[in-house]
Structure 1
Amino acid sequence: MGFGAENITSWYPKTLPTSTTISTIDPTNSAGLYETLLEISIRAQTETNVVKLYYLSRQFRGAAASLTIISQQQYLATATATQYFPQITEEMFNATLNLKSLHWESNIYATVLSLPGNGIFAILFLALMIFFSIIFCKSRLRYFGMCMSCASALEFIGYLARFIAHFNWSNKDLFLCQIITLTVAPTFTMAGIYFLLAQFIVLHGRKYSVLRPLWFSFVFLIGDLVSLLVQGGGGIYAAVAISQLQNTRPGTWIMVGGLGFQVGCMTLFLVLYIDFINRLYFRANPTIKFSIRRTFQLLFNTLEGRLLRQELEPYYEPSLAFIRKRSFFYYLPLVILISSIFIYIRCIYRMIELSQGWRGYLITHEGFVLTLDAMMVFLACSLYVPFHPRHIFGKDISISNSLEIPMKKKRLKKMKTEVQLWSSMQAGH
């Protein structure tokens, strides 16, 4: 098999830009370009691998277009027959578009990555990572802190990779880095939320939840893990297909299936969570009946909501009432709900985005990525800056193992009261 120069130089763009700058190339590169063409032609005579032939053809196409520009610019510099200038200019114009097309085809993202957009989110997630890491070191809520720190760190790495990829959009390592980290990160966010909900259930009484407290972590983390494994399998399949110039759709649809499973798990989680809220607010005290208005009053902790809570309080776990009296405690159900919805929106978006393929409308228009993925995860994580469990429950309280409350020495004669909650959670699963 051989390549003919006429097959390359006769390349014509499918679409014409309204304007472009014709490339100029240093004539001293001619010898190297001719050598490249000769080498490619020799290799192509015996090469049978389709993938290698494809990349050889791209190299040949680029070298031939470059030589066309060099030869024509030399002609324009010395020629006096101006009647040929339009034809020469057209050939240089087509060769320039040919080179630009080759350059664009090497763009894995099929879009120009936003420097400010990815840079801003990299900085924002870095700030969250630092915050959660500091709180992790100071708080006894290790599991939640670890989850949120990992989520923020992975998001930071992902958007930093996209920021760097703006300057090197053909780098496969950067592409894989941002795909992997941004796919895995929300799983850590939800892992923290699942465990936080388990703690919240214990603080009121497990009778208000269909699932036992720790089952929220076990069941839905397993669901997220299965989803990630399916997505990973589909990603590997698609990557192999790309490397062999084969159809990537089967691998892509496997990934979509994994995302669909994740959306299904999150849908079930939200249903169970809403059921828990309903039981907590409207099944505890038989005199308080369900209404949309009362639901919002309780969720937003309005004055009317606080009055309703006074009627509900006797029906909750009495030994833990002192925690429920803390200032921001009753905003936590709303925070959990909103943060979960943010991640839910992100997962639905990713499923729709990927179902369009790697060159679909959503994935090639970065505004959607930054608003429906980056922004959603950032908002979900940032809610736990003011509403971190350390602030909500108290800095010396750890519900996962024990709950230790330091008391004033004068009032309790240097005694500490420790309330064990692990037994409560054990009884609940």
Structure 2
Amino acid sequence: MTKLEPYRGGYYLWKYIPSLAAAIIFLLLFIAATAFHSWKLYKTKARFCIAFVLGGIFEVIGYIARAAAHNRTGSVMPYSIQNVFLLLGPTLFAASVYMALGRIIRCVQAEKYSLIRINWLTKVFVMGDVLSFVVQGGASGLMVSGNNAKLGSDIVVAGLVIQVIMFCFFIGTTVVFQVRMHRFPTTESFNGRVKWKSHLRVLYAISLLVLIRSLFRVVEYVEGNDGYPLTHEWTLYVFDSILMLAVMAIWAIWHPGILQESLQSDRAPLSLRSLSEDAQP
């Protein structure tokens, strides 16, 4: 019978025995979702979705480690792997979301309505995302040490707070762009080639889900090892696993690959576009 084992000197990495069944179920779901997004990436050549696929791979690795931890609760390796990869996966999802907004704006040629200069729009948010990624990733290793666990937890909270702030700023930037577009829509927004409103709704939905997950993680680490979230496994699956799976499902159903196709079409030489149009009946 599986039992909870201490890591070192009576220090317990886990406050419960991680469920093998739950880990396997979500592992299979994330494998399927990641495989689909990998196929879409290959098909659409939308390079800004590479980070999204990597986020799915991080989720897969995280749940492999959780499944392995079921019978190895005293081992630091599976605990560290699942902790780091499940913590950082959504940060990679966020990177693709940030890059998608810039492409939506360019597709409807509404650069003048961007709150941040379009050349800096993606850079600002991605740099904030990278900072959050580095802070969280660098602190995760400290959390397996009894002496530095509190320090590691505090640094992770700082990284999560950076992520929350950047998401709030991103949502505000998106709202400003949408309001300006409704007031003074560009000619390109009427051609129907890119349903920019639908893509914005996708960004809002994903941003909200990742934001809720990040706020949950902040609460989790603030309350510490003896807090309710880290002593009850169901909270992780409800406020992290399910939400991130929903993010991958939404991105799959309303995949933004058409944004890349539209931009590439706009950049095609005028003579080539004219020949193509003349050839049409």
TM-score range, shorter chain: 0.7 to 0.9
Question: Is the counterpart of residue 337 in structure 1 residue 242 in structure 2?
Answer: no
**Residue pairs, 1:406-421, within 5 angstroms:** 412-413=278-279
2:31 is matched with: 126
Amino acid across the alignment from 1:211: I
Aligned-partner Cα distance in 2 for 1:238–1:180: 10
Where does structure 1 differ by over 6 angstroms across 4 or more consecutive aligned residues?
A: 404-407
Shift of 1:172: 1.1
User: Structure 1 321/121 Cα, relative in aligned 2: closer, same or farther at 3 Å?
Assistant: same
DSSP-derived class of the 1:362 partner: helix
1:180 is matched with: 84
Question: Is the counterpart of residue 115 in structure 1 residue 28 in structure 2?
Answer: no
User: Structure 1 238/279 Cα, relative in aligned 2: closer, same or farther at 3 Å?
Assistant: same
2:13–2:79: 8 Å Cα contact kept in structure 1? yes
1:316 is matched with: 186
1:381 to 243, 248, 251: 248
Aligned-partner Cα distance in 2 for 1:252–1:384: 31
1:155–1:182: 8 Å Cα contact kept in structure 2? yes
Aligned-partner Cα distance in 1 for 2:149–2:231: 17
> Residue by residue, what CA displacement relative to the aligned partner does 1:253-276 show, whole Å, maximum 9, x if unpaired?
122122112211211111212222
2:23–2:66: 8 Å Cα contact kept in structure 1? yes
> Residue by residue, what CA displacement relative to the aligned partner does 1:279-332 show, whole Å, maximum 9, x if unpaired?
222x31xxxxxxxxxxxxxxxxxxxxxxxxxxxxxx3143x754x345x55311
User: Structure 1 321/102 Cα, relative in aligned 2: closer, same or farther at 3 Å?
Assistant: closer
**Residue pairs, 1:28-427, within 5 angstroms:** 107-144=12-49, 146-204=50-108, 205-239=110-144, 241-242=145-146, 246=147, 248-281=149-182, 283-284=183-184, 315-318=185-188, 321-322=190-191, 324-325=192-193, 329-390=196-257, 392-393=258-259, 396-399=261-264, 402=267, 412-413=278-279
2:216–2:239: 8 Å Cα contact kept in structure 1? yes
Shift of 1:237: 3.8
DSSP-derived class of the 1:383 partner: helix
DSSP-derived class of the 1:363 partner: helix
1:199–1:399: 8 Å Cα contact kept in structure 2? no
% identity of equivalent residues: 26
**Higher RCO (CA-CA < 8 Å; seq separation 6+):** 2
1:427 is matched with: none
Shift of 1:140: 2.6
Amino acid across the alignment from 1:128: A
1:197–1:213: 8 Å Cα contact kept in structure 2? no
1:148–1:188: 8 Å Cα contact kept in structure 2? yes
Aligned-partner Cα distance in 2 for 1:412–1:267: 47
Aligned-partner Cα distance in 2 for 1:211–1:277: 14
Shift of 1:234: 3.1
Shift of 1:207: 1.6
Amino acid across the alignment from 1:140: K
1:141–1:398: 8 Å Cα contact kept in structure 2? no
1:106–1:170: 8 Å Cα contact kept in structure 2? no
How many residues were matched structurally?
275
Shift of 1:198: 0.4
Give the gaps of 5 or more residues in structure 2: none
1:259–1:347: 8 Å Cα contact kept in structure 2? yes
User: Structure 1 364/210 Cα, relative in aligned 2: closer, same or farther at 3 Å?
Assistant: same
Amino acid across the alignment from 2:113: Y
Aligned-partner Cα distance in 2 for 1:177–1:368: 19
DSSP-derived class of the 1:412 partner: helix
Amino acid across the alignment from 2:163: Q
> Residue by residue, what CA displacement relative to the aligned partner does 1:209-233 show, whole Å, maximum 9, x if unpaired?
1112342321112112222222234
Shift of 1:358: 2.6
Higher helix share: 2
Shift of 1:236: 3.7
